[in-house]
């Protein structure tokens, strides 16, 4: 007996969720300056990864950094939009929510830079030996 309740699998619902996700990505690419910066950095790092012939494990770390950064930036933008939707006034709690979300992005960005330096500095140093 098939479950016909609210949680039943529906290919149409699944397809719609992917469509909404793609719409969200398109919107972020078109309108969010920080998202555009992160995408540009991801492209540059990816090109450098191919130029320096990164190993499999190095690529794993780079991809975790890239996709984690993109996901976190999307969450940060969603939080900012939600806070802006709830109130147009400057409220301390709204500011704190937006600042903490931005802080989470900054912490992750610092980690990605450190990982990038750990991976790429030895490769760059080899060029000068």
Residue numbers annotated as active site: 73
Which DSSP state fits 110? H
DSSP annotation string for 40-86? HHHHHHHHHHHHTT--HHHHHHHHHHHHHHHHHHHHHHHHHHHHHHH
């Amino acid at each position: 007996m098939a479950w016909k309740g609210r949680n039943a699998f529906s290919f149409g619902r699944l397809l719609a969720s992917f469509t909404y996700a793609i719409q969200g990505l398109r919107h972020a690419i078109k309108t969010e300056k920080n998202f555009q910066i992160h995408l540009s950095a991801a492209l540059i790092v990816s090109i450098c990864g191919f130029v320096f012939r990164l190993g499999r494990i190095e690529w794993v770390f780079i991809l975790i950094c890239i996709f984690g950064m993109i996901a976190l930036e999307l969450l940060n933008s969603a939080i900012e939009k939600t806070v802006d939707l709830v109130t147009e006034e400057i409220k301390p709690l709204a500011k704190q929510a937006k600042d903490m979300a931005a802080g989470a992005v900054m912490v992750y960005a610092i980690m990605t830079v450190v990982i990038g330096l750990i991976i790429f500095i030895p490769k760059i140093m080899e060029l000068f030996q």
